[in-house]
């Protein structure tokens, strides 16, 4: 993994698998939850056969990154031990990596020791941390040592209490200050490959989430790529009065709006539909720029 400043030529480049991925071109991260209690039943893949079926489908549908998580971060989720998290993650990572040696793999964890194990022993490329180092105090130093891209998310509180923490004076200013301090801390350690996730649904009400989406472009001030995770969340299905498994159409709408507002990476359960958004958006932009 490189540790170079790749924010040049107006591009967002991260160094993965001995090459660069350009995130100025919208990319797709597919979600593989090896947990028993994901809010979206379709993403629960505890069994190895189910994990591979989901990974195979995502690869066929054009995924760019597969993100594997063993710790449920839904509101009020049970806190599990590091040993339990690893027991869920490692068999899945082993299977996926064996089948797809060149696939970019991310692991969703806030624990520095889990990050170290999956990168050093299971060839994981990216660490995706919902707590931006808050729940694992040595995470920034670990990322600097491992020299891998780091996704850090804004969250108030923890998955266990974030619903009660959803209070802001000025939300966008608070999120900006939050990222500013953490980006500075990472830069001081020499970390260059940073992706920001504003944390839709994490310590935010439904109204907060829509305000955040409407003002997403303000976070481009950091000159870093933005990841959004809107897929089948309550900000969609509660507004539409449907269940998570009926929230795909709403997800597609909000992912389209997010791309229009500067999102670079879509974290999704449904890769095919996300790929269609990007394909159609690209076609429109190319056609608009063509001269007859």
Q: Is residue 4 annotated as a catalytic residue, yes or no?
A: no
The catalytically annotated residue of 267, 272, 275, 286 is 267
Q: Is residue 7 part of a domain?
A: no
Other Cβ atoms within 10 Å of 56 Cβ, number: 13
Single out the catalytic residue among 111, 233, 261, 275: 233
| β-bridge mates for residue 33, sequence order | 44, 69
Residue 159 covered by a domain: yes
Task: List beta partners, residue 128.
Answer: 108, 151
Q: Tell me, yes or no, whether 255 lies in a domain.
A: yes
Residue 92 lies in a domain: yes
Beta bridge pairs of residue 183: none
Say how many domains are in the chain. Answer: 1
pLDDT at res. 52:
93
Structural domain boundaries enclosing 108: 25-276
φ/ψ of 144, rounded to 5, equals -60, -40
Q: Tell me if 33 is assigned to some domain.
A: yes
Residue 205: per-residue pLDDT: 96
pLDDT at residue number 220: 97
pLDDT in tens, the chain (292 residues): 444 444 444 579 999 988 899 999 999 999 999 987 654 455 445 678 889 999 999 999 999 999 999 998 877 678 899 999 999 999 999 999 999 999 999 999 999 999 999 999 999 999 999 999 999 999 999 999 999 999 999 999 888 888 888 899 999 999 999 999 999 999 999 999 999 999 999 999 999 999 999 999 999 999 999 999 999 999 999 999 999 999 999 999 999 999 999 999 999 999 999 999 999 999 999 998 775 5
Q: Tell how strand 104-108 and strand 65-69 pair up.
A: parallel
Residue 20, in any domain of the structure: no
pTM of the model: 0.92
Instruction: Reduce the DSSP state of residue 28 to 3 states and report it.
Output: strand
Active-site annotation holds for 204:
no
CATH code: domain of residue 122: 3.20.20.20
In a domain, 134, yes or no: yes
Question: ∠ at Cα 32 (40, 218), nearest 5°?
Answer: 80
H or E segment at 106? Answer: strand 104-108
Residue 291 CA: distances (Å) to CA of 55, 285, 286: 41, 12, 10
Is 9 among the domain residues? no
- The pLDDT of residue 7 is 43
């Amino acid at each position: 993994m490189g540790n170079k400043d790749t924010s040049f030529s107006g591009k967002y480049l991260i160094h993965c698998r001995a090459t660069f991925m350009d995130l100025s071109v919208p990319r797709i991260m597919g979600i593989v939850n090896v947990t028993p209690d994901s809010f979206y039943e379709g993403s629960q893949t505890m069994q190895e056969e189910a994990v591979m079926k989901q990974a195979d489908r995502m690869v066929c549908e054009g995924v760019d990154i597969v993100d594997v998580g063993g710790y449920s971060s839904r509101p009020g989720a049970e806190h599990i031990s590091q040993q339990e998290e690893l027991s869920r993650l490692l068999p899945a990572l082993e299977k996926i990596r064996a089948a797809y040696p060149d696939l970019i793999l991310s692991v969703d964890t806030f624990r520095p020791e889990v990050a170290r194990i999956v990168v050093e022993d299971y060839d994981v490329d990216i660490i995706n941390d919902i707590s931006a180092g808050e729940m694992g105090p040595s995470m920034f130093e670990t990322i600097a040592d491992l020299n891998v891209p780091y996704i850090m998310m804004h969250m108030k509180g923890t998955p266990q209490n974030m619903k009660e923490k959803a209070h802001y004076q000025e939300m966008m200013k608070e999120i900006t200050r939050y990222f500013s301090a953490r980006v500075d801390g990472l830069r001081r350690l020499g970390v260059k490959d940073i992706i920001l996730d504003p944390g839709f649904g994490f310590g935010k009400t439904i109204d907060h989430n829509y305000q955040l989406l409407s003002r997403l472009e303000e976070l481009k001030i950091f000159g870093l790529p933005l990841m959004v995770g809107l897929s089948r969340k309550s900000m969609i299905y509660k507004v539409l009065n449907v269940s998570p498994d009926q929230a795909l159409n709403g997800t597609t709408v909000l992912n389209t709006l997010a791309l229009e507002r500067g999102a670079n990476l879509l974290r999704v359960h449904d890769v095919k539909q996300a790929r269609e958004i990007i394909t159609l958006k690209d076609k429109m932009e190319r056609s608009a720029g063509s001269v007859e």
